[in-house]
A and B are shown apart, each in its own frame.
Chain A
Amino acid sequence: MFKETPWVRRKFAVERLVASLFALMAAAMIVPLLLVVAHLFWQAWPSLSWEFISAFPRNNLKEGGIYPAIYGTFLMVAISLAITAPIGILAAVYLNEYARDSWFTRIVNLAVVNLAGVPSIVHALFGVGAFVWITGRPCILAASMTLGIMTLPVIIASTKQSLAAVPMAFREACWNVGASRWQTIRTIVLPNSISGILTGVILQVSRAAGETAPILFTGAVFFRRELPQSPLDQSMSLSMHLFSIATQGGQVPLSIQYGTAVVLLGLVMAFNLGSIVLRIYFRTRKKW
Chain B
Amino acid sequence: MEFRLSDKSLLPALIALLLLGSCISLAVGAMTIGWRDVLAGLMQWSWPGILDQDVPEQYALVLGEIRLPRLLLGLIVGGTLSVCGAVMQGMFRNPLAEPGIIGISSGAAVGAGIVLVFGGVLSVWLGAFYEKLQWLLLPAFASTGAIMATWLVYILGDRGRSVVMMLLAGIAISALAGAALGMFAYVATDTALRDMTMWQLGSLSGATWTSVLVTGFIFAISAGLLWARANDLNALLLGESDARHLGVDVIGLKRQIIVLNGIAVGAAVSVSGIIGFVGLVVPHIVRLLRGPDHRYLIPYSALLGGLLLTVADTIARSVFAPAEMPVGIITALLGAPFFLFLLWQQRQQIF
The finding on whether chains A and B are genuine partners in a shared complex, rather than unrelated, reads no
Query: A-side interface residues toward B, CB under 8 Å?
Result: none
